[in-house]
Amino acid sequence: MLIIVGLGNPGLAYRNTYHNSGFNAVDKLVERRGGTFKRRICRAKVCELFVGGEKIVVAKPQTYMNLSGESVKELAGYYRAKPQEIVIVYDDVDLDLGVLRMREKGSAGTHNGMRSVVGLVGQDVLRLRIGIGHPEGQVPLYDFVLSKPKGAALDAWDDATTRAATALDRYIRTRSVSQTMQDLQ
């Protein structure tokens, strides 16, 4: 059992914003695997994939970012998954645009969605962070993360979410953080 959760905000207004990097990455993973988000359970859009006979649940919480942990906790209970069987994918302003980092556990850092997950599920969830960089100039962080990348930034962001989908696919097969990240370097 593995649950992969992409963090983001529901609704067309948030589509393709930096803050929806997690949604974009899991959308690409599901598309690559030939699945669709058919079900709505635990306040999330869910796709159940089977890889090598194992169920892989891919989810996009519909609770809005700051309450993501509520949906993740419900999904863990519904599927009887341990925190170590959960992968959270999300944007990170503390990483340069396009940089990917996978870690087995840790704090939430500055990310409110991840803070919600850690607060309700614990620190032992695997996380794949997608770097979006810092805003330039005097742009408030809130406005930056809810903006849509443009030009070269759009290309770098799209590439990063594609590589994140590749990393998730590799992790599904290897269950090795070090192997997954080494292959992406």
CA 137 and chain centroid, separation: 27
**Annotated catalytic, 111?**
no
Which residue in 19, 45, 60, 73 is the catalytic one?
Answer: 19
Asked if 48 contacts 63 with a C-beta cutoff of 8 angstroms, the reply is no
Task: Provide the angle, in degrees to the nearest 10, between the axes of the packed helices 177-184 and 151-174.
Answer: 140
Q: List the one residue out of 48, 37, 123, 104 whose CA is nearest residue 78.
A: 48
Question: Distance between CA atoms of 30 and 34, rounded to whole angstroms?
Answer: 6
- Please give the positions annotated as active site: 19
